[in-house]
Structure 1
Amino acid sequence: MLALSGLLVWGAGEWAAQSELDNQWDNLRRSSEVQTLALRGVATRYSFLPFTAAQQPLVTALLKAPDSERDRAAANVYLETVNAHAGSDVLYVMDTSGRTVASSNWQSPRSFVHQNYSNRPYFSDALAGLAGRFYGVGKTTGEPGLFASAPVRDGDRVIGVVAVKIDMQPIVATWAQLRDPVFVTDALGIVFLGSVSPWLYKTTRPLAAADVQRVRNEEQYGSDWSPVAVPWTLRQQRDEPGMELALPAGGSRYLALNEALPDLGWTLTLTADSRAVALARQQAWALASLASGLLVLAALYWRLRERHLQENQRARIELEQRVQERTHALQQAQAFRQSMEDALLVGMRARDLQGRIVYVNAAMCEMVGYRADELVGQLPPYPYWHPDDLPRHWQDSEMALAGQAAPQGFESRLRHRDGRDVHTMVYTARLIDGDNRNIGWMSSVVDITAQKRAEEQQQQREAQLQRVQRVITVGEMASTLAHELNQPLAALVNYAAAARALAAQGRTDLLADSLTALSDQALRAADIVGRIRRWVRQQPQSREPCDLNVVVDQSLALLLRAEARRHGIPVQLDLAAGPLCVNADRVLLEQVVLNLGLNALQAMQGAQAAHGSAEPESPPPELLLRTRAEAGHALLEVLDRGPGLPPEIAARLFEPFFTTRAEGLGLGLNICRSIVESMGGELQASNREGGGAVFVIRLPEAPEK
């Protein structure tokens, strides 16, 4: 008995240890798949940026004329904007000698501009016409990152290189939260990324002298790097998928699994503490010892049981009687359950693990028009699946059988036997037997055909109502169109007159600029017409992320600055330091800024004409455009030093066709408010302290992409 107990205890310990070891390897494999996807995602997330920037004419122009300060400034601003929207670390351009001529961090104290990176492989690869990728410590910042590059071509000739630096530290921060070490080695076996910082830039195997010299020449891991071995050893495990990683001097031991990433030239290594295997063996020994003791107690109990056999016989007879009573009660409960199922209006369908129908209730049969004996035993595709939705039926069925059905249910269109469509909501749950095993899936099918029809009718009524409302506003849109086209048409006339005068003077250098501006205004007028037509036809607005500061600059460039100069009124800007990103129709928003600015200029011009020269104590006329962020909103304020807003005018300021000017239509401010509100914002007006008026555009601030 003792020998048998000892053999049981030893066997249980070995079985538990092997089982835990297999479980650890399985966990490592699953974790490896997840971490590999995450690592590839971070490494390739911004690989498109160099190719995109290489196509930009600003970059090509700078590389053709690298000493042009204007081209350099334009390229710096472009790279800074693209880098900010993309969220990468640094985006920069190098000429064929490796010297950086423009960079997104051109304003930073550690700017890449004028730095030379000709010794980096990603530069030489791109210069050869290939896409480059290289991980290393930055020569300028000293901070590590992944560098991706692309060539800039002028025809068949490579004239420069665009590169992006990607910060890999976010994924390292994720690894640092794991219990066991995770690290990545390059093709030479050097640890360059991992959750244990003392291991970084150490070698896992001896390096050839040529490889050491190449790493030093490329300054991949810093200018003073030298090969130092990692403080652990790896040993292949017999009949196991991975290796054992052992720290020196009786340190921890880990199971280590390598995952090669050939497309990146890296190897990802994940580890798991092997102490769990020893702990499982010890726990199994304890449980087996307890089981052996229970076997001894069971033998003693058997002898005691024999003594009480007669008493147990009487108890068994009583138990059989109770079983008969319980069986009768169960039969009654089954009959009651069947009656309830037949009375249900909700369809019930049970399937086994292979998808075979094993049960349907009367409501389900009535819903699809098939008898229970025609459905039970059927495998997918079922006869009531709608022929137009077969791919979706297959997808929903496979997800349900895999235990991934949406807990909130999903819609499914079925085809009744008589050919009509039946819209349903399907809710699926596990079918559990008495041994708590999953033996299939039970689905509740609710007929929502009447509800769907009611929703469709309601949608049709709402669509018709919206169409009627838009048709009603066509008259207002005609006035809107006339009002909005006034400014670009006036600009067209001015530019045409200027072009005629320049042509007469033979000044062809300025003539081309005037013709270009004239064409831009014509395109702007066409864009305004197109947007109003799309609005009337119920087409969605073209809303996109845009910087409110850029909108102000564009509006000044279009007309405001020229009009202010013509009226002799200075224009002041007080713009927010950083970008103010909003989701808006850029052209319509520029039109709003133009309208408000022109109104302010006309108000100040009218006040000067009415009162003659300004009084000594009155503030001089000026137009101030100010942007700022406030409580999740982006604000644009248009301030003037005009006559202000009397109470009787302020109350009717945004009414259609209300105007204080003889030549005005009274639609400008009404249209401005409608445009701002269609973008989810609001337009307000008030008197300015010290004289004048303030118009405030408030729009929800959008996150930067």
Structure 2
Amino acid sequence: MRKTTRTWLLLAATLAVLGCCLAGWLTWRQSLARSLDDTARRGDNVLQLATTALSGELDRFERLPPLIAEQTIVTRLAADPRNPALVIQANDYLRRIQRLLGATDIYLMDTDGLTIAASNFDTDTSFIGGNFAFRPYFYDALTGEAGQFYALGTTSGKRGYYFGAPVRVAGLTAGVLVFKVDLDAIEGTWAGGDYAVLVTDPEGVSFLSSRPDWRFAAMRPLTNAAQANIESTRRYAGTPIGLLQIIGEGRHRNSPVLRIAEVQGAREYLQRDMPMDRAGWVVHVLIDTAAARASALTLAFVAMLTFGVLAMVGAVVWQRRLRLDERLQVQAEARADLERRVEERTHELRQAQADLVQAGKMAALGQMSAALSHEFNQPLAAARTYADNAGVLMDRGRLVEARGNIDRILSLIDRLASISRHLRSFARAPGQKLSHVSVAEVVEAAVEIAALRIRAADATLTIDLDSDLPQVVAGPVRLQQVLVNILTNAADAVEGLPTRTIHLTAEAIGDDVLIRIADSGPGVPEGLATRIFDPFFSTKGVGKGLGLGLSISYNIVKDFGGDLSVTSGPGACFVLRLAAAMTAQQEAAE
């Protein structure tokens, strides 16, 4: 009997050890997967902010070179490049414009690529006399296109993004005006934290990075064609291109996991990427996985410890039942104590669940702030364009037109404030006052804000409003918000397709006014039509929105007493049904 008991005890101890190891391994795998998922989501937020900052800086300067290229002093010097008096005037003008606009350098080249005037004419690194015909921004602009290129300056040795614009005289290209913009300030905002941000060019070379030792290094060995392209354009002015020491590669779902050798030892990173097609760049965020692995290891240890404690308790209970039959009361007390512990664990589990719900709410608020930043970007870009135009108009003495641009800027500022106030419409806040609103005026304001996104998608917008369209019962700012959201969604849907059209119509039917916005995109799949207005539901990819826009729009239209629906085939068609406002004659008749 005693030998049999020892055999069972030995078998139970072996199973307990194996179960403890299995529990720790399973917990480690599941916890690590969850921790890496959280790491990937955090990386997407950082990626979205970094990409938005870069795009905003490029948007700020993109439209300026063509405007400056049309100025009289620039065109006169391009037509007569050897006139010393014109050179002096142009140098002074370019320096004033450079300081006013915040560009790094502005210079003018003739058709042979020789620099004839520059904002840094009186510095040790003056561009005057330098020939940059080998740069792509020069020969692209010389053919009449907008030239853009990122490179290390061959004269200054400083990094910069170049915008080139043709200077036309009598209908012919007589020179190229170039803006050089420094992106180092944006790079400086990426420093710190357990992540690294880097931007690679079309050849895969990192030229912007929060890690200085990763700058001017390739993530993969360069091909012969890539090396030849770098040398022909002198993109990095002879600077040697290094190579990141990737000593191990893996994947977590769709994300690469890289192990990189560094001075202080090898570290593992989860990589998230987002392309910037306009410049041919790719923005990468590499987040250190050490914290995720430490968290998973801690939870695995807790699971093993819990399993071991439970196994030990079971062994003690079992042994007492075999040897101490007379102490039934003691065993009953032990069972009661065990039930109390289980109840405490259950209470702790419920508390943990409540904490997870609160954490989820905080994560959603963080994503909403990124979406609000994206909503602000379009009015800010429009305001920047109007401000630039206003400056040019005032220089030309056209004060009335400049005043019109300033009024539009004030309107856009009111728009930004209104977006902030009305974001709470997602919560369906009651009691907001409605009024009689002109559909034509709201459509005009919405199209003005959405025009930037529509042009970026290279889409064609047509508008067809009935001439005798009545006013509707709504809030003008919130109705404008709904139209902007649907128009920008339509631009997203048609972007990259062979046919890119958006059609907005409005007509009165009975006591209602129907506003339809149809696009030539892929439409809404039949199985998703019933979920399209749900919060946090989105058909877009990672980093392209939180799925709140249509939900907010739906609730806003409901607050107006109207309805928002969608049909598909071909393309998507969103229909806003709003109540028509009663005229003074109708009110008197009642």
TM-score (norm: length of structure 1): 0.43
Alignment of 1:446-465 (within 5 A): none
SS at match of 1:92: strand
Contact 2:32 2:292 in 1 (8 A): yes
Match of 1:18 among 9, 33, 41: 33
| Gap runs ≥5 in structure 2 | 1-11, 318-327, 337-426, 437-473, 483-590
Listed one character per residue, the Cα deviations across residues 101-147 of structure 1 (whole Å, up to 9, x for unaligned) are 11111121211112111111111110011111111111111111111
Contact 1:58 1:75 in 2 (8 A): yes
SS at match of 1:181: strand
The aligned counterpart of 1:164 is 179
Contact 1:385 1:393 in 2 (8 A): no
Alignment of 1:264-279 (within 5 A): 264-279=279-294
- Whether 1:182 and 2:230 are equivalent positions in the alignment is no
Q: Cα gap change, 1:187/1:309 in structure 2, threshold over 3 Å: closer, same or farther?
A: closer
SS at match of 2:155: coil
Q: Matches of 1:308 and 1:235 in 2, distance apart? A: 51
The aligned counterpart of 1:229 is 243
Displacement, 1:295?
Answer: 3.7
The aligned counterpart of 1:241 is 255
Listed one character per residue, the Cα deviations across residues 585-627 of structure 1 (whole Å, up to 9, x for unaligned) are xxxxxxxxxxxxxxxxxxxxxxxxxxxxxxxxxxxxxxxxxxx
SS at match of 1:20: helix
Match of 1:65 among 68, 74, 80: 80
The aligned counterpart of 1:263 is 278
Q: Cα gap change, 1:304/1:130 in structure 2, threshold over 3 Å: closer, same or farther?
A: farther
SS at match of 1:254: strand
Q: Matches of 1:298 and 1:177 in 2, distance apart? A: 47
Q: Matches of 2:156 and 2:293 in 1, distance apart? A: 46
The aligned counterpart of 2:168 is 153
Alignment of 1:621-640 (within 5 A): none
Alignment of 1:395-474 (within 5 A): none
If you compute each CA radius of gyration, which structure gives the higher value, 1 or 2?
1
The aligned counterpart of 1:386 is 434
Alignment of 1:94-113 (within 5 A): 94-113=109-128
The one-letter code matched in structure 2 to 1:247 is A
Contact 1:245 1:256 in 2 (8 A): no
SS at match of 2:163: strand
Q: Matches of 1:160 and 1:308 in 2, distance apart? A: 93
The one-letter code matched in structure 2 to 1:39 is L
Q: Matches of 1:108 and 1:383 in 2, distance apart? A: 63
The aligned counterpart of 1:254 is 269
Displacement, 1:393?
Answer: 6.3
Q: Matches of 2:236 and 2:432 in 1, distance apart? A: 65
The one-letter code matched in structure 1 to 2:131 is N
Listed one character per residue, the Cα deviations across residues 191-230 of structure 1 (whole Å, up to 9, x for unaligned) are 22212333332333344434423322322111x3455433
SS at match of 1:279: helix
SS at match of 2:124: coil
Match of 2:233 among 211, 218, 230: 218
The one-letter code matched in structure 1 to 2:261 is L
Contact 1:246 1:252 in 2 (8 A): yes
The aligned counterpart of 1:288 is 303
Alignment of 1:587-598 (within 5 A): none
Displacement, 1:396?
Answer: 11
Q: Cα gap change, 1:284/1:267 in structure 2, threshold over 3 Å: closer, same or farther?
A: same
Listed one character per residue, the Cα deviations across residues 67-126 of structure 1 (whole Å, up to 9, x for unaligned) are 212211211111111111111100111111111111111121211112111111111110
SS at match of 2:475: helix
SS at match of 2:235: coil
Give % identity. Answer: 27
The one-letter code matched in structure 2 to 1:96 is T
Q: Cα gap change, 1:309/1:188 in structure 2, threshold over 3 Å: closer, same or farther?
A: closer
The aligned counterpart of 1:126 is 141
Q: Cα gap change, 1:308/1:206 in structure 2, threshold over 3 Å: closer, same or farther?
A: closer
Q: Cα gap change, 1:205/1:296 in structure 2, threshold over 3 Å: closer, same or farther?
A: closer
Q: Cα gap change, 1:188/1:83 in structure 2, threshold over 3 Å: closer, same or farther?
A: same
Q: Cα gap change, 1:165/1:384 in structure 2, threshold over 3 Å: closer, same or farther?
A: closer
TM-score (norm: length of structure 2): 0.51
Q: Cα gap change, 1:295/1:75 in structure 2, threshold over 3 Å: closer, same or farther?
A: same
Listed one character per residue, the Cα deviations across residues 439-472 of structure 1 (whole Å, up to 9, x for unaligned) are xxxxxxxxxxxxxxxxxxxxxxxxxxxxxxxxxx
The aligned counterpart of 1:37 is 52
Q: Matches of 1:247 and 1:129 in 2, distance apart? A: 46
The one-letter code matched in structure 2 to 1:390 is G
The one-letter code matched in structure 1 to 2:475 is L
Contact 1:242 1:258 in 2 (8 A): no
Displacement, 1:261?
Answer: 1.1
Displacement, 1:281?
Answer: 2.2
Listed one character per residue, the Cα deviations across residues 507-539 of structure 1 (whole Å, up to 9, x for unaligned) are xxxxxxxxxxxxxxxxxxxxxxxxxxxxxxxxx
The CA RMSD over aligned residues, in Å, is 3.3
Q: How many residues align?
A: 329
Q: Cα gap change, 1:156/1:286 in structure 2, threshold over 3 Å: closer, same or farther?
A: same
Contact 2:257 2:268 in 1 (8 A): no
Which protein, 1 or 2, shows the higher relative CO under an 8 Å CA cutoff with sep ≥ 6?
Answer: 2
SS at match of 2:189: helix
The one-letter code matched in structure 2 to 1:386 is L
The aligned counterpart of 1:205 is 220
- Whether 1:88 and 2:136 are equivalent positions in the alignment is no
| Gap runs ≥5 in structure 1 | 311-378, 398-705
Contact 2:246 2:258 in 1 (8 A): no
Q: Matches of 2:312 and 2:481 in 1, distance apart? A: 54
Listed one character per residue, the Cα deviations across residues 652-690 of structure 1 (whole Å, up to 9, x for unaligned) are xxxxxxxxxxxxxxxxxxxxxxxxxxxxxxxxxxxxxxx
Listed one character per residue, the Cα deviations across residues 304-330 of structure 1 (whole Å, up to 9, x for unaligned) are 6944999xxxxxxxxxxxxxxxxxxxx
Q: Cα gap change, 1:383/1:143 in structure 2, threshold over 3 Å: closer, same or farther?
A: closer
Displacement, 1:10?
Answer: 2.8
